[in-house]
Amino acid sequence: MLQEELEAMIGHTVTVDQYNLVNRVYMNHPADLSKQSIANLWELGGFEIFKELTPAADQMRTLETHINTLKRQLRNAEEEFKSIKARYKDDASA
């Protein structure tokens, strides 16, 4: 969500810090919030509600990074496994 989109939906301007926090929640919160949900939350609790939602969003972001790292490590291990197996298979047929 762009800052201009948020401001148009809530009807006033926000600071860069406010926007960054709202966008962090929008991008990472496990509830998978829509743009309209973000605007509704702002109407209900203003910036303060996003401060409360940030820990869950940050935890999800950390977990996603960790999962992606593990997937990359698994792919690398599988490639190495296949490579080693192929070398020995080639040696066995000689």
Q: What is the pLDDT of residues 36-85, one digit of tens each?
A: 999 999 999 999 999 999 999 999 999 999 999 999 999 999 999 999 99
Task: Report which secondary-structure segment, H or E, holds 2.
Answer: none
Q: Would you say 33 and 41 are in contact if contact means Cβ atoms under 8 Å apart?
A: yes
pLDDT band at 89 (very low <50, low <70, confident <90, very high): confident
Q: For 86-92, what is the mean pLDDT?
A: 80
* Overall domain count for the chain: 1
pLDDT-wise least confident of 21-25, 72-76, 77-81, 87-91: 87-91
- pLDDT score recorded for residue 78: 98
Q: Are 56 and 24 in contact (CB under 8 A)?
A: no
Boundaries of domain holding 80: 3-92
For residue 12, give the DSSP letter. Answer: S
Model pLDDT, residue 90: 73
